[in-house]
Amino acid sequence: MTETASDSNKEQLVIDLNFVPGWARKPPEHRTFGGASEPGRDRGGSRESDAARRDRPDRPGRRPEGRPGGGARQNRRDPSQGGRPAPFRAPVEPVDPRLASLMVSFLPERRGLAPLAHRLAKSYRAYSLFEVSAFFLSKPDYYLVKIEAPADLKDFSFFQCSACKALFLDKDAASAHAFAKHFDKYCTREEQEMEPPKGNFMCVARCGLSGVLLGPPNYHGYNEKVAEIQHTKYPDMPLEAFRKRIETIHDAAVIEQWKESMRKQVSYRFGTGEGSQLFTRFSEAEAHFREHCLPEAIKTVRAAVLPGAVAHAMEQGPLRRLLEDAWQTESRFPLKLSVTLRLAFRHLGLHTFKAAGGHTFVTAVAPNAIDPSHAVEVIREILDFISGKPGCVRAEMLAQLAPPASPAPVAAEGAETPAPVAVEAVSAKELELKRQLQWLVEKGHVIEFSDGRMAVPAGAAARVQMARSKGHGRKGQEKGKSAESVAKGEQA
């Protein structure tokens, strides 16, 4: 199967992932479902109260004291009084009390999980499982949303689109979505050349939202065209509200443009071969779709899984708000998702362990403590330093165990310049420390976390859970070499 551009971009984003500590991430309460910024907040994260915004004297559009309101302003917007129509607003859906008992959980999306596991498998560092979980929740393309009704809620069900997995509480809304978004999946549009309409037309109607020419109001196919545009482009807008957005154009050039567009007659064919059905009128095609295609396009379910991007694009409503609340809760403390990720990573060849503070980490190198007394001197130095200063980084260790030498004295004129013996000795010691430290990290005798801090497994790692399969894990990640081999300074 050919890899799509979205899949390629998704993998590239995961490969370029840069984990950051928790304090560097924006707090969950400053984000909304899918990671977008919460409206009403400034860049600093503060939010002005509604009362404060109303009371600000410099608020744009604030009505001056004493200005009359109500009647004149409302008449200006009333179409019956010659004003422009008020913007369309969908009716507010009543909140179903049964929604509170629905169960929502978040799952890692496989196409995002596999490349991330591959990246972690190539790293010798340990990553916080909560950090990884927070990353998944910050990217709608990387998680799935599972929502289900409990067993005791007998008379409750969802309506899910079979094509894109969009979810609805109302069957009519689901049907309107399927017709508007997936009509072409079941129907093929065919065009044929026709003679343009004849007659004298004084005006032509145009959709004020899309700019589509609908035809003269006295043309026999006018109402058919209005219904087609409203159903296919604006299914959530009532027909009467859509009609208020229609403009009347008295321009001969525009009328001729509409006539030329009518040279192509569109027919609608369902099926292929001898059993196919052809309709010349849009209303007939719509009726056929609703009768014969909707049972396949919309499924009635009690549990559904939908992609995070689809959930993120849902229209505002009770179901969307339910998913937003669940996302906010999981983002603050991603316990459920981290448990799922831990099991998934172990099946993909990675190991998990509990750190001293109780946090779970995932790594491609299983922690494997060794006794420093059985190691060679340079390894013993490294282990003793990290044991005495857990949380240190490589630069601290090198500065302590291999301090830079003082600059060599400048020889007097005519004298022989002394050889930089001290500098060579320190450089060799530093090189050896780096080499042995890298070997310790690769064997799991030293844990290096994602932020560069280090610790020894003894006391820093508990409840190590080994990978359940080889998967992406490194070869030879068994318990490591024996103490005798470490004492001999065996290298990886």
Establish how many alpha carbons lie within 13 A of residue 369's alpha carbon, considering only the half-sphere containing its beta carbon: 13
Confidence category of residue 433, pLDDT binned at 50, 70, 90:
very high
Q: What pLDDT does 454 receive?
A: 94
Distance of alpha carbon 443 from the chain centroid: 35
Lowest mean pLDDT among 39-43, 179-183, 390-394: 39-43
**150 and 17 assigned to the same domain:** yes
Please check whether residues 380 and 435 belong to one and the same domain.
yes
Q: Mean pLDDT, the chain, as a whole number?
A: 77
pLDDT of residue 28: 43
CATH number, domain of 397, equals 1.10.10
> Can you give the pLDDT at residue 89?
52
Q: Name the pairing type of β-strands 298-301 and 303-307.
A: unpaired
Phi, psi of 220 (to 5 degrees): -65, -25
* Burial class of residue 118 in the structure, from the number of CB atoms within 10 Å of its CB (0-12 exposed, 13-18 middle, 19+ buried): middle
| Contact (Cβ atoms closer than 8 angstroms) between residue 474 and residue 362 | no
pLDDT for 106 beyond 90:
yes
If asked whether residues 282 and 218 sit together in one domain, one would say yes
Position 415 in a domain? no
Residue type, 418: P
Helices 110-121 & 335-347 angle (0-180, nearest 10): 60
386 in a structural domain = yes
Check whether residue 386 and residue 279 sit in a common domain.
Answer: no
21 in the same domain as 151: yes
If asked whether residues 20 and 133 sit together in one domain, one would say yes
Range of the domain at 202: 176-291
**Cα–Cα distance list, 451 to 15, 20, 119 (Å):** 17, 7, 16
pLDDT for res 419: 54
Query: Tokens in use for 476?
Result: 């030879």
For residue 296, CA distances in Å to 107, 180, 300 come to: 26, 15, 10
